[in-house]
């Protein structure tokens, strides 16, 4: 069992820029001044910091690095999506598409095995329920775009959950972070959709951005190596 203190010592210093810029966003409240380049920069900084965090774990060529590269590419596309949503009146659909492609990359990272069909069935039920709730407020092209997006984000959650099996050697804290991140992503995006297509949500900026930053943090953390694994690699090199 990897000790929490070891994990914190391993990833904590690399995440300081993310925590500082996230705190800055909530302290400055740039969204109160409306759409602007200032809001764009402050909003995107935490995700840029997470990109830097993931880059520190990319070394050489392997399946693990392929995973990290997919996560990195997803974060980059998310950053573009964030920028588009700052000017949501003109570029909401563009932002939606950027995030849709980000989810495709996250799905690629999480992989297709093991399949876990029971998990897929449960996810399908919640996906259908979410879409049914949003449907009355959808018009024209958003009917189809929202449907595709809901399918993608719940597929992403399914693939994240499918990687975990508590009774076999398939459970790690990094995989759990990916699961929590995927769930928080759904919560964040569902709040955005409800606020835009159904009814206004009180404190929407705080709720949406806190769950969103936490979601991306969880997914980014999934690229980290456990301290024990890292030490084992170093020992093997010495041998």
Q: CA-CA distance, 8 to 17, in Å (whole number)? A: 15
pLDDT at 120 over 90: yes
Q: How far is CA 203 from the centre of its chain?
A: 21
pLDDT, mean over the chain: 91
Instruction: Report the pLDDT value the prediction gives residue 10, as an integer from 0 to 100.
Output: 83
127 contacts 150 by C-beta, under 8 angstroms? yes
Convert the pLDDT of each residue in 32-62 to its tens digit: 999 999 999 999 999 999 999 999 998 766 6
Instruction: Report the pLDDT value the prediction gives residue 232, as an integer from 0 to 100.
Output: 44
Convert the pLDDT of each residue in 56-112 to its tens digit: 998 766 668 899 999 999 999 999 999 999 999 999 999 999 999 999 999 999 999
Q: CA-CA distance, 204 to 81, in Å (whole number)? A: 18
Cis link prior to 157 (omega < 30° from 0)?
no
| Residue closest to 164 by CA, chosen among 150, 152, 180, 153 | 180
pLDDT at 238 over 80: no
**Could you tell me the pTM of the whole model?**
0.91
Long-range contacts of 112-118 (CB under 8 A, 24+ apart): 112/159, 114/162, 114/163, 114/165, 115/162, 116/158, 116/161, 116/162
Q: Give the whole-number percent of the chain exceeding pLDDT 90.
A: 81
Buried b (16+ CB within 10 A) or exposed e, 91-115: bbebbbbbbbbbbbbbbbbbeeeee
DSSP conformation class of 61 = S
pLDDT at 8 over 90: no
Instruction: Report the pLDDT value the prediction gives residue 6, as an integer from 0 to 100.
Output: 81
Q: CA-CA distance, 153 to 173, in Å (whole number)? A: 22
């Amino acid at each position: 069992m990897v000790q929490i203190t070891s994990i914190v010592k391993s990833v904590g210093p690399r995440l300081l820029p993310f925590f500082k810029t996230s705190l800055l966003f909530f302290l400055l409240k740039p969204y109160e001044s409306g759409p602007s380049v200032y809001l764009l920069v402050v909003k995107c900084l935490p995700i840029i910091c997470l990109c830097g965090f993931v880059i520190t774990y990319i070394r050489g060529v392997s399946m693990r690095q392929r995973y990290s590269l997919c996560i990195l590419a997803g974060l980059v596309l998310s950053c573009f999506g964030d920028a588009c949503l700052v000017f949501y009146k003109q570029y909401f659909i563009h932002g939606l598409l950027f995030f849709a492609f980000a989810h495709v990359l996250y799905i690629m990272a999480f992989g297709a095995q093991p399949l876990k069909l029971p998990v897929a069935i449960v996810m399908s039920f919640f996906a259908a329920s979410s879409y049914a709730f949003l449907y009355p407020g959808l018009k024209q092209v958003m009917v189809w775009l929202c449907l595709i997006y809901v399918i993608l984000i719940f597929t992403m959650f399914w693939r994240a959950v499918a990687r975990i099996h508590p009774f076999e050697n398939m459970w790690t804290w990094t995989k759990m972070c990916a699961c929590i991140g995927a769930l928080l992503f759904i919560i964040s995006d569902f709040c955005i959709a409800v606020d835009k297509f159904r009814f206004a949500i009180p404190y929407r900026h705080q709720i949406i951005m806190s769950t969103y930053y936490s979601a991306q943090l969880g997914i980014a953390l999934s690229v980290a190596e456990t301290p024990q694994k890292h030490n084992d690699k170093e020992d093997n090199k010495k041998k």
